[in-house]
Amino acid sequence: MREVLSRGPVRLVLQLLFSGLILLLLVHDVDWSGVLQTLEQGSIKWLIAALLFKTLSLLVHETRLWLALPRPRPPVQNVISLGLAAGVLNLALPARAGDLAAIAFMERECKVPVPVGTAAVGVTSFLEAALFAFFLLAVMGLGAAQWASIVGDASQAVVWISAGISLGCLVLGTMALLGKRWEQDPPSPNAFTQLIKQTVVETSAIVRDVRYLGVQTAAAAAQVVLVVAAFSLAMQASGAGLDNPIAAASMVLGIASLAAFVLPPTMAAGPAAASALVLPLFGANESAALAYAGTYWLVAHLPAVVMGIPALMARR
- Percent of the chain clearing pLDDT 70 (strictly above): 80
The per-residue pLDDT for range 187-231, each reduced to its tens digit, is 888 888 888 889 999 999 888 888 888 899 999 999 999 999 999
Mean confidence (pLDDT) of the chain: 82
- Domain residues of the chain, as ranges? 35-313
Number of Cβ atoms within 10 Å of the Cβ of 39: 19
Plot region of 96 (φ>0 → left; ψ -120 to 50 → alpha; else → beta): left
Q: What share of the chain is helix, strand, coil (3-state, %, to 5)?
A: 80, 0, 20
Angle ∠(262,264,266) on CA atoms, nearest 5: 155
Cβ proximity of 276 and 23 under 8 Å: no
Q: Residue 272: pLDDT above 90?
A: no
H/E element, 66 = helix 44-68
pTM of the model: 0.82
Cβ proximity of 201 and 183 under 8 Å: yes
> Which residue has better confidence, 312 or 20?
312
